[in-house]
Amino acid sequence: MKSALLGSVAALVLGCAVALAPGMAQAAPIVVNPGESIQAAVDAAAPGSTIFVMPGTYVETHGGFASVRITKSLKLIAKSKLPDLKVRIMPGPGQSSGILIEPENPGDPDVQRVTVQGFTVEGYSQNGIWTRYTERFKIIGNEFINCDHVGIFPTLSANGLVKKNLSYGALDAALWVEASENVRVIRNEFHTSPTGLEISVSKNIKAKKNHVHHNVVGVGLYHPNGASLPPLGDDGDWDIIGNYIHDNNFPNPVSGGLVGALPSGIGVLLLGVDRVDFRKNQILNNDFLGLAIVDFCLVAAGESFDCQISPPITDPAPDNNTLIRNEILGNGGNPPSGGFGPLASDVLVLGGTNNCGLKNEFDTIIGGLPPC
């Protein structure tokens, strides 16, 4: 019986080994050196491959919309040691975005499991990195510099991680999560942009322990009328936790549209959004407002955003938002000109229902914030 049992175990082990063998035979990593094409390596890689890119400056010459377009599962890893030793991607002919992750063809299944890590992406007229119809993505430890629309732009995507990146010098947002679900934005730094960290028309977003400073608006949580895509249907459930949001007094470099209408000096602007949970944030030294919870139609201006001319596509009132254990101090001391002075404060609540606070620290408040 003992020998029979041993024989059965041996057969089972052998069978498992045979079954696992194909998965164990993974392709060797691909290495890209200066003077070579990152896009060519991406195109040649089998799904699931890892591509290592060595330090240097890379300018692609293929003339596509993005310098690097990823349409399959893979890991694209820069062998950088930031901030000194960099793998820099810069625009080539006709390239307005740095890295684009999207399906090969419209209507194809979403791209799964892409990691982009360690790159410096600089000087694009549109986006630094842009995901479209992408799931289980990771954007980790990159720099996105002076990308004139958005530095980091997850759209129409789900189950993503944006962690330990630096993004600045955008002309819309350093990071914008739009029309996406289950995205975590953790330990990033965002500065010198109209909005540092922006979220719109999305579900189940968590922004935690980010450093947001020297923007026009530090954190912008915006109504769907201010976005470029329609609402998902039940937007909200956003957690803003443990972030350091300070000195967002950068003069607005944009004129026109909602971006150009943003007044400088706002730490957090919640504009007509529901079910946001603010916990344990430090919101300090913003010249106009620390944290504002505002009905979209009370502040919308201009023909494109006037609610009398263009009724909002969803309820404009901010409802069911909670503020718990936040430190909101030193705000409102130098509001912009143009009649903004009477609103300057640590906390401003204009419109909405069921918004509440508990154990927050602030000196000035306009509007009501009943206890939770």
Written as one string, the DSSP assignment of 183-250 is: EEEES-EEESSSEEEEEES-EEEEEES-EEESSSEEEEEE-GGGSSS---SS-EEEEEES-EEE---P
- Rounded distance between C-alpha atoms, residue 141 and residue 81, angstroms: 10
Q: Output the CA torsion 64→70→72→77 (10° steps).
A: 150
196 belongs to a structural domain: yes
> Are 313 and 270 spatial neighbours (Cβ–Cβ below 8 Å)?
no
- Per-residue pLDDT tens digits for 197-212: 999 999 999 999 999 9
pLDDT at position 256 is 83
Cα–Cα nearest to 330, from 317, 340, 345: 345
> Are 160 and 181 spatial neighbours (Cβ–Cβ below 8 Å)?
no
φ/ψ of 258, rounded to 5, equals: -65, -35
149 belongs to a structural domain: yes
296 belongs to a structural domain: yes
2 belongs to a structural domain: no
Please give the residue range of the domain that contains residue 208: 30-366
> Are 220 and 198 spatial neighbours (Cβ–Cβ below 8 Å)?
yes
pLDDT at position 76 is 98
pLDDT at position 314 is 82
271 belongs to a structural domain: yes
The number of distinct structural domains making up the chain is 1
The CATH number of the domain holding residue 242 is 2.160.20
Global pTM reads 0.90
- Rounded distance between C-alpha atoms, residue 166 and residue 163, angstroms: 9
Residue 34 structure tokens? 């200066």
- Rounded distance between C-alpha atoms, residue 336 and residue 331, angstroms: 13
14 belongs to a structural domain: no
7 belongs to a structural domain: no
6 belongs to a structural domain: no
Length of the chain: 372
- Rounded distance between C-alpha atoms, residue 321 and residue 360, angstroms: 14
- Rounded distance between C-alpha atoms, residue 235 and residue 59, angstroms: 39
Q: From residue 44, how far is each of 10, 39, 81, 224, 289 by CA, in Å?
A: 40, 9, 26, 39, 51
What pLDDT tens digit does each residue of the chain (372 aa) get? 323 333 333 333 334 333 333 443 467 899 999 999 999 999 999 999 999 999 999 999 998 999 999 999 999 999 999 888 999 999 999 999 999 999 999 999 999 999 999 999 999 999 999 999 999 999 999 999 999 999 999 999 999 999 999 999 999 999 999 999 999 999 999 999 999 999 999 999 999 999 999 999 999 999 887 666 666 666 678 999 999 999 999 999 998 888 998 999 999 999 999 999 999 999 999 999 999 999 988 876 544 567 777 778 788 899 999 999 999 999 999 999 988 999 999 999 999 999 999 999 999 999 989 999
